[in-house]
Structures are given as C-alpha cells and as structure tokens.
Amino acid sequence: MYLDFTNPRYWLLHSMGSSNAMDWLIDRLVTASPELDRAWIPADLLERVSAMGSFRGLSLDYDRRVVPDVDFQSPAAPVEFLKMQLWGNKAGDILRILREQEAFPHETTLAKVKVKFWLSGEVDGEFSLDDIKYDGKVTARGTSFQSHIALVSHVYEAYAQQIGKLEESYALGAYESDGRLSLEGAPVNLLLDRPISNLEIFCESIFSCGEPFRLWGVPTRLAEDFYRVQAIDLHVGSPLQFEIAPQFLRVYLPAGSCGNSVVRLYTNLQHHYDSLIRAEEGDGRRVFEF
C-alpha cells in the first residue's frame, strides 16, 4: 500500500492488493474520521473522463428508494431503481439511447466508466484500462502504470479544481473592514428537471443523518412549498444551509466549510433523485466545469 499525500488535502491511496480489503479499510477510515471523506465524482466528470481515452464500458446506478417521495405503486410512478453494467465499445451509444427523452433520462446516472487510456497516443502499446467509480475508487489493469497515474491525475486535478472553486467563489462569509460590512459568496442553485413530488418526505430523507447523504438537519416548513434547513455534514462536521422549493435547492456553503459537502450532495442527488439535476450560479452558468 502506498499513500501519496503530496497535496495534504487530497490523498491518493494506491495498492496492488485486493480491492476488497482496500474497500474495507477506506470505509473504516472515512467512517471513523470526520477529517476524511471520499471523492464523490459526479456523473458529469465521469463522462468527461470517458472521453479521454477509448470508452470501453459503463455502469449505471440509480436508486430512488432512498428518497421515497412518490408512491412507487402508482401507474405514473417514476423508475424506482436502475442498475446496469455494460462492457464493450458501444458504451457511448447505449448511454445516448438511454438518455433520450422517451427512455430514462432522469435515471441514467453513470456510476462507473471503463476507459482504455494511452499516455502517448493510441499507437503506443503502453496503456491502462481503468474502471473509475463515482466513489473515487479506480481499478486499473494494462501495461502502463504511467498511463494509469496520468488518468488518475486528470480526475484528481479536475475534482480538486471544482472543490477549490466552490470554496473560493461560492463560500458565503461576512467581512468587515473599517466599519464596512460586505458579503462574499453566493448560493449554489441546484435545479431539478422535474419538481420534487413531496417536499416533506424529500427533506426528511436527505437530512435524517442516514447514508448516503449523512446530513443532519431539522427542516423548517416556511410555506407549503418551501423549507429551510440548517444542516451539518456529518462526514466532515461542516455546516451547510439549504432553502428548498419543488424546483430548486439553494445551497449555502459557509466560509470555512468543505466544498466536498456540496459535491457529495450533488452526486448523490444524481444517483438517488434526478440524473439531470444541474448546479448553476445566478446568471445560469454551470457551477461545475468538468
């Protein structure tokens, strides 16, 4: 096992051993230490990674049962659960088909991509075949460790850049200088492609301390269709604030809080509510630029 903490904020743990043993160890470390969390790679970033080499396979993982705000028995109920694994060169085609409007665009959430990656271009015989999963686990085979490391570095840098952007541009704080009090930061607007069906159940599901969201909060109902929640991210102990309407969630990240909390929420909502959720800033620009 080899731990690369060149950047003390982001650790890369490498192992030649059984990935099951590593899964156990990482799970234990993350659960026991509020200072540590996994990377939560959004489907958008996984898709970008899939385009960095030859896209050789995918896994989809969507489970709405975690947020059961609809009657799954009703004829108009949305898809409850969608899991799929597909290995082969047609992965991109299958993804496109599933995302078509008449298929399952709201439930087609990438959980893993298999990418054949050449560091020096496709003609080179040196390659890695990487499975990159949304929880930050990367399993590699192939002939080139360098290719594997290069791909992992791309993912890590893209991810770290977005965390940094959240903490620098969106974290909300009040600053006073010579009596002048001003605010910095802005809420991250999470926009839903289909409205939340039942706000009360939605809020209870998200903020009841359970996996995968691990958010502590007591939702305050301010109107029939509007709640606010002062929350704590139990993974890292960071405070977060939310205002929630059927069409959107405003997420306020207080200055000093961890940007990973927002990315984890966004990623988990892709997996457990709506694959088409968007994170936008006030003028409609996307928050995450993967």
Partner 1 sequence: MGDASLSFNLTMLNLWIGMCRGAAGLPKDLRKLGYQDKWIEYPFSNQDLERVVPDLVLASEQVNHTVLLEWKSGANTEADQLRRYSRLNQNDLQTRAFISRDAARSHDVTVVGRDEHADRLRMGIERGAYTFPLLVADDDGLALSHNQFQISQLSSLFSPKLEINWSRVPSRFVPLDSDSPLWEVAEVLAPKILHYMSERRPRVTLEQICADVCNTWSIMGTPVKDAFRGKVREVLVQAAHRHFGAYLRWVGAAHSIEIVANPLDLEPDKRTAVYRRLRTAQKKFIETLRSGRAADGGEQLELDFDSTSAGP
Residue 33 or 161: the one with the smaller Cβ distance to partner 1 is: 33
Residue 154 or 250: the one with the smaller Cβ distance to partner 1 is: 250
x/- site string to partner 1, residues 15 to 54, per CB under 8 A? ----------------xx-x--------------------
Alpha carbon distance 252, 241 (integer Å): 5
Distances (CA, A) of 132 to 89, 95, 112: 16, 16, 5
Q: Which listed range, 53-61, 69-77, 141-149, 180-188, lies at the site for partner 1 (CB under 8 A)?
A: 180-188
Residue 13 or 186: the one with the smaller Cβ distance to partner 1 is: 186
Minimum Å gap between C-beta 175 and partner 1 is: 9
Site for partner 1 in 203-262 (CB under 8 A): 207-210, 216-218, 220, 222-223, 225-226, 228, 230-232, 234, 236-239, 241, 243, 245, 247-250, 252
Residue 110 or 232: the one with the smaller Cβ distance to partner 1 is: 232
**Interface pick for partner 1 out of 282, 286, 287, 288 (rule CB under 8 A):** 282
Query: Is residue 281 close enough to count as binding partner 1 by CB under 8 A?
Result: yes
**Interface pick for partner 1 out of 24, 174, 286, 289 (rule CB under 8 A):** 174
Residue 3 or 223: the one with the smaller Cβ distance to partner 1 is: 223
